[in-house]
Amino acid sequence: MKRKIIAFVMLVVMAVSMLSGCGSAAKEEKKAESTVNESSAKTSNGEEVKKDDPITIKFWNGFTGPDGDQLVELVNRFNSENKYGITVDMDITASLDEELSSAFAAGEGPTLLLSSSAYRFTYGQYMQNISDIFDKTNLNKDDFIQSYIDYCSEDGNLYLVPFQIVSFYLYWNKDLFSAAGLDPEKGPATWDEYLEFAKKISDPSKNVYGSGLCYGYNYQMAHVIQRFGGLAVTKDGGSWKANLEGNSGYADFVNTYKKLVDDGDNPLTDDTDSMMTAGQLGMTINGPWLTGGMDTAGINYGITTIPTGAAGSMNSCEVLGFSITTAASDAEKLAAYRFIEWWNTTDANGNCAALEWSLTNGYPAYLKSLMDTDAYKGNAKVMSMTNTDTSAPSDFIVDASFPGINGIINDVLPQFIQPVLFDNADAAASLANVQKIADDITAQYN
C-alpha cells in the first residue's frame, strides 16, 4: 500500500517537473525568437538603461472596437520613429479585468496600462507612483488641466497620466427635427425643451421615437441622472454619504423617463445606439464613439452638451489614463515614460499623437497647449464637445475621489431605476431601498 502511495507521489513529481521543464524551455525559446534584443535589455534590469539599449515593453488596454485601429497605428508609428530602441508590444483585450487580476496575482503584468482612472481604486497597489515623470521627461505639469490630474492622483501622488476625457453628449438627428417642424440646427438646451421636442418627433407610424434614454446603459443613466439630482455620493464632514433616499431630483428623473416610455416618446429598450444609427431616434445621449457609427450610416446629426437640469451646470466626465504597473522594472518604466512623453509631444512637423487621437475620436483635450492649436479650434466636432464653462464641476456621478464608483453605477442606479420602470414601483420607495445598498458601499470606505 505504502509503495503505491510512494509510486503515486513520484509520478506526480515527475509529471510536474516534466511539465515545468517543457514550459520554461519553451518560454526561453520563445523569448529568444520573439525579441532578439531583449537579452541586452535584461542585463541592465534595475539600472538606468543606456539610450541605445533596445527594450520591449508590454502595453495592455481594452480598446476593442474601431478606435483600437487608430491606437495600433499610433503605437506602430512610435515603434518605428523613436530613437531609444523602444518597442511597445500592445495587447488589446476584450477581458482586461480577467487578464489583469490573474497576472497581478502572480506578480506579472504589463509595463504600461491604459484604463479608466477609476482603476486606481481597484488595482491601486499595483500601480507605481509616477509623480517623477515631469522631472524625467520634457512633459510640463502645468500644461495639463489640473482637475484631470486630480482624477489621476491619490494623496498628492500621480498614478496615471491623462489619456482621454470621456464626457457624454446629446446627439440629435437633424432630419427628424426638420420633419417634425423643429429647427434642425438647435438641440434642446433644457429638459423641458427635450420633452417638448421628443413629443413632436415621435411618430409611431414610422417607428420613430423622439427620446433615446436607455435603462440598460448604466453610464448614460448616470450622466443624465446627476443633472437632475446631483452626485450620488459626496463627502460630508470627513466621511462618505450616499444621497439617494429623499433625492427628489432622482425621483423626478425616473418619473420623467417612465412618462416618456408610457407616452410612446421613448422606446423601452436596452440598446438605443443601433436605433440612432438607423435613423429611428430623434435624440440620444452617449459618448463620442457614437459619432463613428452615425458617420458611416450617413446620419445628419448635431452635438451639444447634456441639458442642464435642476442640479445646476456640470461637466461630468471620466478620465482615462496611462499607468505603470509594479511589474515594470526601472528600465521598462523609463521606456514607458518615453512613450507617454512622445504621445503628448508635438514633433517638428506639428504631429502629435494626443491631438490626432482627440480630433479623430472627438475627445476634448487635456493639454492646454493643444486647445490653442488651430487644428483643434478648427475642428467643429471637438469644439462642440469642449466644455467652455470651466467652473462647472467635472465629477461623474460621485465625488471624484470616491472609490466605490463602480458599485454606484452598476448596482445602485439600475436597482433604483428598473423597478420603477418595469414594476411601477414608487420612486421614493425605490430610492429608500437602494439607499441601504449604497450605505453598504460607502461604509467600506469610511
Sites for another protein among residues 39-58 (CB under 8 A): 58
Cβ closer to another protein: 201 or 367?
Answer: 201
374 binds another protein (CB under 8 A): no
- Contact call for residue 270 and another protein (CB under 8 A): yes
What span, in angstroms and rounded, lies between the C-alpha atoms of 373 and 354?
12
Which of 16, 36, 310, 443 touches another protein (CB under 8 A)? 16
* Residues 127/326, Cβ–Cβ less than 8 Å: yes
205 is a contact residue toward another protein (CB under 8 A): no
Asked whether the beta carbons of 164 and 287 are under 8 A apart, the reply is: no
Comparing C-alpha atoms, which of 68, 63, 82 is closest to residue 343? 82
Measured from the CB atom, the residue of 94 and 380 that comes closer to another protein is: 94
Options 64-72, 176-184, 252-260, 346-354: segment touching another protein (CB under 8 A): 64-72
Q: Which of 312, 302, 313 is nearest to 187 (CA)?
A: 302
* Site residue total, another protein (CB under 8 A): 82
Q: Does 76 bind another protein (CB under 8 A)?
A: no
279 near another protein, rule: CB under 8 A: yes
- Nearest approach, Cβ of 440 to another protein (angstroms)? 9
Stretch that binds another protein, among 65-73, 178-186, 304-312, 347-355 (CB under 8 A): 65-73
Instruction: Please say whether the beta carbons of 446 and 403 come within 8 A.
Output: no
Of 139-198, which residues contact another protein (CB under 8 A)? none
**Out of 9, 10, 22, 310, the residue judged to bind another protein by CB under 8 A:** 22
Stretch that binds another protein, among 11-19, 128-136, 241-249, 336-344 (CB under 8 A): 11-19
Q: How far is the CB of 42 from another protein (least distance, A)?
A: 15
Binding to another protein (CB under 8 A) within 225-244 occurs at: none
Could you tell me which of 235, 236, 143, 225 has the C-alpha nearest to residue 417? 225
Backbone angles phi, psi at 284, to 5 degrees: -150, 170
Tell me, residue by residue from 81 to 100, as one string, x for binding to another protein by CB under 8 A and - for no binding: --------xxxxxxx-xxx-
Q: Which residues, 6 or more positions from 316, have their beta carbon under 8 angstroms from its beta carbon?
A: 167, 168, 222, 223, 226, 394, 395, 396, 397
| Residue window 290-329: x/- pattern of binding to another protein, with contact defined by CB under 8 A | x-xx--xxx-------------------------------
- Strand ranges across the sheet with 317-324: 86-92, 55-61, 112-116, 317-324, 161-167
Query: To the nearest whole angstrom, how small is the minimum distance from the Cβ of residue 109 to another protein?
Result: 8
Binding window for another protein (CB under 8 A); candidates: 66-74, 178-186, 194-202, 340-348 = 66-74
Are 90 and 61 in contact by the 8 Å Cβ rule? The answer is yes
What is the smallest separation between the CB atom of 285 and another protein, expressed in angstroms? 13
Among 40, 122, 255, 308, binds another protein (CB under 8 A): 122
Cell digits for 242? 450616499
Closer residue to another protein in complex, CB, 50/206? 206
> In this chain, which of 211, 247, 277, 315 binds another protein, going by CB under 8 A?
277
Looking at residues 376 to 435 of the shown chain, list those that interact with another protein (rule: CB under 8 A).
406-407, 409-411, 414-415, 418-419, 421-423
Q: Which is nearer to another protein, 274 or 351 (CB)?
A: 274
Among 48, 73, 81, 108, binds another protein (CB under 8 A): 108
* Cell numbers found for residue 192: 423641458
436 binding another protein? (CB under 8 A): no
**Residue in the structure block whose three cell numbers are 462647472:** 392
